Amino acid sequence: MSSATASPLVTPLTASENSKVDFGASISGINIENLTDADFDIIRSALYTHQVIVFKNQSHVSPKAQFELTQRFDPAATSYGHGKTLDAKRSILHPDLKTIPHQPQVQVIGNGFVAEYEGLTNFRLRHPHHRTFHATTIPAAEDLDCTRFYRWHIDAALYGDLAPPVATTLLAVRVPSGRRQLCRYDDGSADVLDVPLGTTAFASGYAMYERLSPADQALARSTLVEYAPHPYIWMSGAKSRPDGLGMVSEGKELPLDTLPEVEEDKIQILPMCWRNPETGKLALQVHPSAVRRLHLGDGTVVDDLAEVREIVHRLQRPGIAPELVYAHDWEEGDLVLFHNRGVLHSVVGAFAEDEVRLFRQCNVAASHFPVGPEVVEA
Ligand SMILES: [Fe+2]
User: Is 1 inside a domain boundary?
Assistant: no
Centroid of ligand 1 to alpha carbon of 124 (angstroms)? 19
Q: Is residue 369 part of a domain?
A: no
205 Cα to the center of ligand 1, angstroms? 15
Rounded distance between C-alpha atoms, residue 58 and residue 118, angstroms: 16
Contact predicate 152/315, CB 8 Å: no
Question: What does the alpha-carbon distance between residue 210 and residue 173 come to, in Å, rounded to a whole number?
Answer: 35
Asked whether residue 377 is assigned to any structural domain, the reply reads no
- How far, in whole angstroms, is CA 153 from its chain's centroid? 5
Nearest to 149 by CA among 277, 316, 266, 337: 316
Q: Would residue 2 count as lying in a domain? A: no
Q: How many domains does the chain have?
A: 1
pLDDT for the residue 4: 47
Cα(378) to centroid(ligand 1), Å: 33
Report CA(215)–ligand 1 centroid distance (Å).
Answer: 30
pLDDT of 1 reads 43
Q: Is 252 left (phi over 0), alpha (psi -120 to 50) or beta?
A: alpha
Ligand 1 centroid, distance to 280 Cα (angstroms): 24
Q: Which of 220, 319, 214, 336 minimizes the C-alpha distance to 274?
A: 220
What is the whole-number distance in angstroms between the Cα of residue 139 and the centre of ligand 1?
26
223 domain residue, yes or no: yes
* Full domain range(s) for residue 23: 9-363
Is residue 371 in some structural domain? no
Residue 183's CATH number? 3.60.130.10
Tell me, in angstroms, the distance from the centre of ligand 1 to residue 346's CA: 7
CA of 155 to the centre of ligand 1 (A): 5
187 Cβ contact partners less than 8 Å away, ≥ 6 residues apart: 241, 242, 243, 317
Query: What pLDDT score was predicted for residue 93?
Result: 72
Residue of 91, 118, 33, 40 lying closest to 360 (CA atoms):
118
CA of 313 to the centre of ligand 1 (A): 19
- Find the 152 Cα to ligand 1 centroid distance in Å: 8
Q: In order along the chain (378 residues), what is the average pLDDT of each group of 10 residues? A: 68 90 97 96 98 98 97 85 63 77 94 94 90 92 92 97 96 90 96 95 98 98 98 96 98 95 96 97 98 97 98 98 97 98 94 90 94 71
pTM value is: 0.94
Angstrom distance (rounded) from CA 3 to CA 252: 52
Q: Tell me the one-letter amino acid at 283.
A: A
